[in-house]
């Protein structure tokens, strides 16, 4: 394999560069450097410090003439000048002089026709292990002539100075889409690296006529494919890791004319309250080669998944091969079922409902959920949010562009769309327990298998969705949230309050939405 030096990476000094170390050596390096400890199952457990979730207010995109008109600038896609980027880059490279560096060369995109090559340069061995397991791992033959399309440099120990560097804190996530570089400074949370790759892909793929999706995907024995769109914490990883179906991927996919493909080669699962009885595939994947973030480990090296004292956003990263029934490579056919996942803290959305084409477009553009504790810095209890495409922070172009592509895919494939509430039903979050996972699994299974195609439905007068009157292995009385609210007036008030928020969000974000789509949404 071709050797790399610090000079090859544009870094002065004589620090040693370890390129594409195998997993055991990366783990050994991380332990020797005091970056973490091994659990009793062999996973590497690390603590990420101040940042235990993404920090979206610290993310910037370099504003150059080549990309200016393509980016949907605003509160999410915040511009930074090329001069500022270059200045921070120079200081970061100076900081990395004479340090040990860890390089992983990997792929994003399991469809060979669209695969992008990423070179990841890390200050920490543990973070390099994470990206080794989360991206697609090239063969030795593929590494012989590896030339990166994009380069990411991650230096958690380098801290920006806001008043000098023109950023908001010591942390900065900077994407230069024209120069094909990503810088991550002052932040050890591994999700920033993963989502930066996703953001880059969400810029590239539409130019190829491919729809990027923030979703998990799985496949039945008959080849039927299902995708699950949702924000972090809504159940993408949990619901797609189904022992009866093969896992294509748990978070990021592209949808071509022929089907879907995984952008990644690994999974990044939330593991707060993880139990083997309810999620055996994920539980058993946390072994040697996996990495745990911010999970409390006791003196006997045993992880306590129920302990959220460091953060509710405890995470496990592992290669997709650790899931026994994973699809390798991660490619499937056109989805027959699309599932929107939301965690409704108001407790008024049905546990499952079917959407017609216009309603599907409305809820896709809305991207409603309640952000769950820990997925972003500062979020300690559920907060109502609308995130277009169920992942707005990662989509750099206009929501209407992705929405038009999504509707076209539904029309071309005839896929059925369901909205599944994995949150609360029958009362507000905190007043009632969250929807039981076994019921959610049963509803999703019925939707994917076609068992909900011929049952009787009733249109919800407030939200415009169709609620099934029956579902196999689910009590009929929980299917309509009105039945679960003891105080019917309180239900009406909560439902109409949420409907008003839907309408206000749409008027602000997409005022030019076609009338037929607006009419299919909630009625305030």
| 82 flagged as catalytic | no
Coil, helix or strand for 232? coil
Strands (E), 137-210: 150-155, 172-176, 181-185
| 232 flagged as catalytic | yes
CA 229 centroid distance within chain: 9
Coil, helix or strand for 134? helix
Q: Is 146 left (phi over 0), alpha (psi -120 to 50) or beta?
A: beta
| 236 flagged as catalytic | yes
| 113 flagged as catalytic | no
Spatial CA neighbour of 223 closest among 314, 331, 143: 331
Coil, helix or strand for 325? coil
Q: φ, ψ for residue 327 (rounded to 5)?
A: -90, 120
| 251 flagged as catalytic | yes
Q: Which among 214, 354, 371, 441 is annotated as catalytic?
A: 214
The torsion of the CA quartet 292, 169, 96, 176, rounded to 10 degrees, works out to 90
DSSP string, 11-77: --S---EEES--HHHHHHHHHHTTS-EE-TTS-EEE--TT-SSB-GGGEEEE--TTTTTTS-BTTTB
Rounded CA-CA distance 411/219 in Å is 21
Q: Which helix (H) or strand (E) holds 458?
A: strand 457-459
From the CB of residue 328, how many other CB atoms can be counted at a distance below 10 Å? 14
Q: Which among 237, 311, 353, 422 is annotated as catalytic?
A: 237
| 214 flagged as catalytic | yes
Q: Which among 151, 169, 232, 422 is annotated as catalytic?
A: 232
Sheet of strand 116-122: strand arrangement: 17-19, 101-108, 116-122, 150-155, 181-185, 172-176, 59-62, 79-80
Q: Which among 315, 371, 409, 441 is annotated as catalytic?
A: 315
Spatial CA neighbour of 458 closest among 441, 473, 476: 476
Q: Which among 19, 54, 59, 354 is annotated as catalytic?
A: 54
| 315 flagged as catalytic | yes
Terminal CA-to-CA distance of the chain, rounded, Å?
62
Contact partners, residue 350, CB within 8 Å, separation at least 6: 419, 421, 425, 460, 463, 465, 467, 479, 480, 481
Q: Which among 105, 176, 251, 466 is annotated as catalytic?
A: 251
CB 371 within 8 A of CB 386: no
Distances from the Cα of 111 to the Cα of 105, 250, 335, 499, angstroms: 17, 16, 16, 40
Tokens of 175: 């994407």
Spatial CA neighbour of 76 closest among 360, 391, 348, 515: 391
Q: Which among 19, 29, 236, 245 is annotated as catalytic?
A: 236
Q: Which among 89, 195, 377, 441 is annotated as catalytic?
A: 195
DSSP one-letter code for 345: T
Active site residues: 54, 195, 214, 232, 236-237, 251, 315
């Amino acid at each position: 394999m071709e050797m790399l030096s610090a000079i090859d990476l544009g870094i002065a000094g004589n620090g040693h560069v370890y390129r594409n170390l195998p997993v055991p050596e990366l783990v050994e390096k991380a332990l020797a450097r005091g970056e973490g400890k091994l659990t009793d199952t062999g996973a590497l457990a690390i603590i990420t410090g101040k940042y235990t979730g993404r920090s979206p207010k610290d993310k910037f995109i370099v504003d150059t003439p080549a990309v200016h008109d393509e980016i949907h600038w605003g509160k999410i896609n915040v511009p930074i000048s090329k001069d500022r980027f270059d200045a921070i880059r120079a200081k970061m490279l100076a900081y990395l002089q004479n340090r040990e560096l860890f390089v992983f060369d990997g792929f994003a995109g399991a469809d060979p026709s669209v695969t992008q090559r990423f070179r990841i340069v890390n200050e920490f061995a543990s973070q390099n292990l994470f990206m080794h397991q989360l991206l697609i791992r090239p063969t030795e033959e593929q590494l012989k002539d590896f030339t990166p399309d994009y380069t990411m440099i991650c230096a958690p120990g380098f801290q920006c100075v806001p008043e000098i560097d023109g950023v908001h804190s010591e942390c900065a996530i900077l994407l230069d889409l024209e120069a094909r570089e990503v810088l991550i400074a002052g932040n050890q949370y591994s999700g920033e690296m993963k989502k930066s790759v996703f953001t880059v892909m969400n810029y590239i793929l539409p130019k190829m006529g491919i729809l990027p999706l923030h979703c998990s995907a799985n496949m039945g024995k008959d080849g039927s494919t299902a995708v699950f769109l949702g924000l972090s914490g809504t159940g993408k990883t949990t619901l797609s890791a189904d022992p009866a179906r093969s896992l294509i991927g748990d978070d990021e996919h592209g949808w071509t004319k022929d089907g879907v493909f995984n952008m990644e080669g690994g999974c990044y699962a939330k593991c707060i309250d993880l139990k083997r009885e309810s999620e055996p595939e994920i539980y058993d994947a946390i072994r040697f080669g996996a990495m745990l973030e911010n999970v409390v480990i006791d003196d006997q090296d045993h992880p306590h998944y129920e302990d959220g004292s460091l953060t509710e956003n405890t995470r496990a990263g592992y290669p997709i091969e650790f899931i026994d029934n994973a699809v390798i490579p991660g490619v499937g056919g056109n989805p027959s079922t699309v599932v929107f996942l939301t965690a409704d803290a108001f407790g008024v959305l049905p546990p499952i409902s079917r959407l017609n084409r216009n309603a599907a477009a409305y809820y896709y553009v809305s991207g409603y959920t309640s952000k769950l504790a820990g997925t972003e810095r500062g979020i300690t209890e559920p907060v109502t949010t609308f995130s277009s495409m169920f992942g707005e922070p990662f989509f750099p172009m206009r929501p209407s562009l992705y929405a038009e592509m999504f509707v076209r895919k539904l029309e071309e494939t005839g896929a059925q769309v369901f909205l599944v509430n994995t949150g609360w039903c029958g009362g507000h979050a905190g007043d009632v327990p969250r929807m039981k996972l076994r019921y959610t699994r049963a509803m999703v299974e019925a939707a994917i298998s076609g068992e909900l195609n011929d049952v009787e439905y009733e249109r919800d007068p407030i939200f415009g969705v169709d609620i099934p009157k029956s579902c196999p292995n689910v009590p009929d009385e929980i299917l309509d949230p009105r039945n679960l609210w003891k105080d019917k007036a309180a239900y009406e008030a909560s439902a109409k309050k949420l409907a008003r928020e839907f309408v206000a969000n749409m008027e602000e974000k997409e005022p030019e939405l076609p009338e037929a789509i607006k009419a299919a949404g909630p009625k305030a």
